[in-house]
Amino acid sequence: MSVTQEDVRRIARLVRLTEPTDRLESLTGELNSILDWVEQLNEVDVKDVAPMTTPIQTPLLQRADDVTDGGRRDEILKNAPKAEEGFFVVPRSVE
């Protein structure tokens, strides 16, 4: 796969970047070297490699999936500037 200066110009236009024409050649070379590196990754045989999210195999800590109200309503509401009947009171935003 190879990127041309016209491709770089089109990509820059799509992402709303203005690149000076003297930088197009260097950007083209950089993008082509990145794509060459990605093609090298395709040569690696990963057929017998198990997918993983982390190199360390540790079990995930789990808690009980209990539905509660938190039991801290009064503690939380005392931080509010104004509260009534267990709810936050906020200024009206729409008349």
7-58 confidence digits (pLDDT tens): 999 999 999 988 888 899 999 999 999 999 999 998 999 899 888 888 887 8
The two three-digit tokens of residue 45, written as one number = 């045989």
Is 68 among the domain residues?
no
Residue 77 is assigned to a structural domain of this protein? no
The sign of the CA dihedral 9, 12, 17, 20 is negative
Model pLDDT, residue 31:
93
Is 94 within a domain?
no
- Domain count for the chain: 1
* Residue with tokens 């939380």, as numbered in its chain: 76
Structural domain that includes position 22: 5-41
Q: Is residue 31 part of a domain?
A: yes
In a domain, 75, yes or no: no
Residue 30 lies in a domain: yes
- Indicate whether 21 belongs to any domain: yes
Q: Is residue 54 part of a domain?
A: no
Which value, to the nearest 10 degrees, does the dihedral of the CA atoms of residues 81, 82, 87, 88 take?
-50
